[in-house]
Amino acid sequence: MNRTDVHASWWTTGTPSRRHWLRWAGTAGLLGAVPAGCERRLQEGPAAEPEPVARFPGKVALRVVNDRPPCLETPWHYYREDLTPNEAFYVRWHLQTIPTSVDLRSWRLKVGGHVERPLELSMADLRRMEAASVVAVNQCSGNSRSRFEPRVPGGQWGNGAMGNARWTGVRLADILRRAGVKGGSVQVSFDGLDQGPFSAVPDFIKALPIDHARTPEILVAYEMNGEPLPMLNGFPARLVVPGWYATYWVKALAEITVLPRPFEGFWMARSYRIPDNPHAQETPDALAAKTVPIHRMNVRSFFVQPEPDARVPLGRPLALEGIAFDDGQGIKQVQVSTDGGAGWFDARLDRDLGRFAFRRWRAEWTPSARGLQTLRVRAVNNAGDATPESPTWNHSGYMRNAIEQIPVLVV
């Protein structure tokens, strides 16, 4: 075992690749450093509002949505890579006291509650069990929240609270089988090492229905893209719930508890709930009376090339590229419109990395008129669900979704 395997801290995990290191080599320090572009914008005066950017340990400079605890957004250009690099992967925590160092010599994953044989698994125990991998999108429920109109409170994420990674670990179902789930169990709860600043702040604990918890796709992952998880993304192990919003992907996992009755903690009973209707919709003056815990992701599609407000040349073929994903039905079709939504044509789908992964799409467009043009993209999955024409709204700002429209200037 190397040092990272035994005792990892902020400073020893998620070493940036040489390429990224070089890209940011000009920025000093690990925390609070501002990349060159921002400094330049700062000097241009108050009209250009700079975006706060910081380097946290193991991470490249990321947009700061919140700094205590860190909520950091992935820069858009990283979505041109099939797997979002660990050092650029977005970060979201709720509670002030997050783990900054974990000693694997003492860390144990406790499995208890309504089981025949309570377990205390070390990392070595986990690594001795059969390994499984899945490429899956981790997306925050509040991804794109800043796009909501009317605006809603909460972390003002752009579209970068998502990422696609190859997760490797042990099937939760295997761990539950080893512990022996007792008859009459209805849910399984998951608790991480993070805590509130004082005891009145409810601990971040999430729960899944027992039948879902026993499906083979859910992992207790100890690797992300072939490396130990970065500290900020849940070292030493996290839950991976493919197809479901990342609120269930509990990080720095410490305790798994099998429950004979539904878990009623704050983060299930009060928070992360959506209107109980097909598109989780409500209006500011008619809030939904009935809510349910948020669950499966909807069908989304984005452009990664060109980026919004790009200047593109008239009369020359331009490569269009993007990503689409859903809750695991798989993407069936992606269509692009370059004429304001009047006509749509099919994009080509790249290699399938798995039904829970980003599906890359490509198309070509030769701009035939100068001026501002709007590009649109929509996706349909194998269940026939499509990206909606108009955005849905709910007061928590979850599940934002609409046909993506980006302006480009043809010159």
Ligand X SMILES: Nc1nc2c(c(=O)[nH]1)N[C@H]1C(S)=C(S)[C@@H](COP(=O)(O)O)O[C@H]1N2
**What values do phi and psi take at 393, rounded to 5?**
-135, 140
Contact characters 194-233, ligand X, x per CB under 6 A: x---------x----------------------------x
CB atoms within 10 A of CB 108: 14
> Min. distance of Cβ 295 from ligand X in angstroms?
13
Instruction: Determine the Cα–Cα distance for residues 405 and 407; give it in Å rounded to an integer.
Output: 7
Q: Got the DSSP string for 172-231?
A: HHHHHHHH-BPTT--EEEEEES-B-SSTTSPP-EEEEEHHHHTSTT-EEEEEETTEEPPG
In angstroms, give the least distance from the CB of 251 to ligand X.
Answer: 4
Q: Which stretch binds ligand X (CB under 6 A): 21-29, 167-175, 243-251, 279-287?
A: 243-251
Coil/strand/helix, residue 7: strand
**Is 58 strand, coil or helix?**
coil
Query: 247 or 394: whose CB is closer to ligand X?
Result: 247
Given the complex with ligand X, which of 70 and 275 has the nearer CB atom? 70
Rounded to whole angstroms, the Cα distance separating 228 from 234 reads 10
Count helices and strands in the chain by DSSP H and E runs: 7, 27
Neighbouring-strand partners of residue 286: 283
CB burial of 201-240 (b: ≥16 within 10 Å; e: otherwise) equals eeebbbbbebebbbeebbbbbbbbbeebbbbbbbbbbbbb
Q: Minimum CB separation from ligand X for residue 78, in Å?
A: 13
Burial of 34 (0-12, 13-18, 19+ CB in 10 A): buried
Asked if residues 372 and 409 have their Cβ atoms less than 8 Å apart, the reply is yes
Please choose, out of 246-254, 286-294, 298-306, 343-351, the segment that lies near ligand X by the rule CB under 6 A. Answer: 246-254
Kindly state whether residue 192 participates in binding ligand X, applying the rule CB under 6 A.
yes
Q: For ligand X, how many residues bind (rule: CB under 6 A)?
A: 20
CA dihedral in degrees (370, 374, 375, 377; nearest 10)?
Answer: -160
Restricting to residues 361-400, name those near ligand X by CB under 6 A. Answer: none
Q: Which of 88, 91, 297, 331 binds ligand X (CB under 6 A)?
A: 91
Segment lying near ligand X (by CB under 6 A), choices 14-22, 212-220, 250-258, 311-319:
250-258
Q: In this chain, which stretch among 32-40, 249-257, 278-286, 338-346 interacts with ligand X, using CB under 6 A? A: 249-257
Span near ligand X by CB under 6 A; candidates 52-60, 88-96, 120-128, 335-343: 88-96
Q: Which is nearer to ligand X, 250 or 297 (CB)?
A: 250
Query: CB of 374: closest distance to Mo ion in angstroms?
Result: 30
Distances (CA, A) of 40 to 307, 340, 409: 21, 35, 24
Of 167 and 361, CB closest to ligand X: 167
Query: Is the CB of 70 or the CB of 367 nearer to ligand X?
Result: 70
The least distance separating Mo ion from the CB of residue 247, rounded to whole angstroms, comes to 5
Q: Work out the end-to-end distance of the chain between its first and last CA atoms, rounded to an integer number of angstroms.
A: 57
Residue 181 and residue 114 in contact, taking contact as beta carbons nearer than 8 Å: yes
Q: Which of 59, 94, 114, 378 binds ligand X (CB under 6 A)?
A: 94
Nearer to ligand X, 233 or 301 (CB): 233
Q: Please choose, out of 60-68, 87-95, 114-122, 384-392, the segment that lies near ligand X by the rule CB under 6 A.
A: 87-95
CB closer to ligand X out of 107 and 204 = 204
Minimum CB distance to Mo ion smaller for 141 or for 168: 141
Q: Using CB under 6 A as the criterion, which residues of the chain lie in contact with ligand X when the complex forms?
A: 89-95, 138, 140, 192, 194, 204, 233-234, 246-247, 249-252
